[in-house]
Structure 1
Amino acid sequence: MAPSKKKHASSQPRIIPGGFTELSLRFSSDSVSEHKLYLKEHKVRAEKSSHRPLDRTLFVLNMPPYCSEGVVKEMFSQFGCVRSVELRDHPGSSKESGPKLSRFFKPADKQGFKVGYIVFQNPSSVSAAKSHPHDAPLVVCTEQRQVRTGAQKWIQQYTESFSHPEKLQQIVDSFMEGYDKRKEEEADRQKEEAEQQQEDEEGWVKVTRGPKGTKGRPHSEAANKRTLQKEMRKKKRKELLNFYTWQHRNTQKEHIADLRKKFEEDKQRIALLRAQRQFRPY
């Protein structure tokens, strides 16, 4: 007997508005309730990071909190080799490049539903995941992959929160070594820039070629300060003094008042010298 059309249609992937494919998820094989994931191929033109290739990255919504990156990687490995998995609170650009921090130097992750970026080895794996029938749910917890929830999960997280003092000391020492190394490199770079931008006896500044597409010019704070002072002096020389008649008249009055004041001071100084003179020929 041929299968009914309704049963045949249910084995096909379900497409919802927005281009997302619906994928069912069960916590265990004996679970009755199902959780829905919504996935589609990651296609963002502004994405320039090599960590998310546009033809091999799968964008997943509504990822439950009990699914860690390791669990997601194992679940989606049935569609092909998974290179990396990234879970985030909100969609956005990839993680910032920089030194990898330990969990002791990072805030605790938020507990809740997340979005995921799954990068496969081959582009065909993305198509295989999208074409997976929605009535064949993925299983999270199996005999080979045990996932803890509820009180067991909190007990495990509480136990893992304690670290051995020697291991913690190694993590701190490694972090401080990297920090000191970055500070030394920054100090050497600033010292080299200061030496290159130092003026010689005649006031010339050696300007080196900068990165491609940029002009070679001094970038230090001292050089910028000297340039600003030169501009201020140049601007002051170009200012029009005594442009109006009343300005010229006030300037003359101030000059005459200064001369009279200086004349009175000179008269007093001369009178004082005469009074202090001891030799009087008359």
Structure 2
Amino acid sequence: SFPAVHEDLTADVIIVGGGITGIATAFEMTERGLDVIIIDADQLLQGTTGHTTAKITSQHDVYYHELIQQIGMPKARLYVEANEKAKELIQARVKEYDIDCQLEIKDAYLYTKEESGVKKLKKELDAYKQLGIDREWKTALPFDADIKAALAMTQQAQFHPLHYLNALIDQLLERGVRIYEQTTAVDVKEGNRPAVVTQDGHHLTGRYIISCSHFPFYDGKGLYFTRIHPEQSYVVAAKTTKPLPDGMYLGIDQPAHSLRTAEWHGEEVVLIGGEGHK
């Protein structure tokens, strides 16, 4: 745990949000020799990052066909490359710092039980081919599921994000990063030396301010509150009578459900997630 901010502070970089985005960004900044402050409105890792199914994958539901239509092939390809590089970066850090975080390489499957879903998956398969994504087309899954079709993105991964990030936090502390909790950002004062203003009126001044909160805390530019909304879904960790075959699984039919294994006190459980809503 970390203290709250009780005074005005200065650093090269002020990062708002203490989840995987904020911590990974702070790590990158310290690699470049910058002085960093991280603040979080609650506790580090207790938001989306601490409650995710934690798949390290470039597969984000049925996505790429639509992405190509919206932003074009070159930018869609950049999106794939960025996600793959992130996966490789996590794997490299796990190896470099010998982090025990249950990192496992697995294929990520999209599946459907409906004919309309087959059409969507075929369009997605075409998009994978255009983008050069390694894939496999399936008409059955290796467990008892009455599906019409499935599309696998191969060589993806899963891990325990808190074990991974706690190791990174130790590295950040060694590098002199200052971390504060129970500190809510409410505004930004712009200028040559911009400052984050906290709920208690303190100013955190830096050369750069990076918003890494799940929902943008600052709305002076994009009117985000009119265009986006938070969503929530649920997850149950279950002991199953049969093991879940190797892989991570996401249904594209509504309501969507996801399946992946995890280790809990030395036992394998299945994380069953879904039922998302605004």
Q: Smaller-chain TM-score range?
A: under 0.3
Q: Larger % of strand: which?
A: 2
Q: Give the structure-2-normalised TM-score.
A: 0.21
Q: Give the structure-1-normalised TM-score.
A: 0.21
Q: Larger % of helix: which?
A: 1
User: Which protein has greater RCO, CA pairs closer than 8 Å, 6+ apart?
Assistant: 2
Greater C-alpha Rg: 1
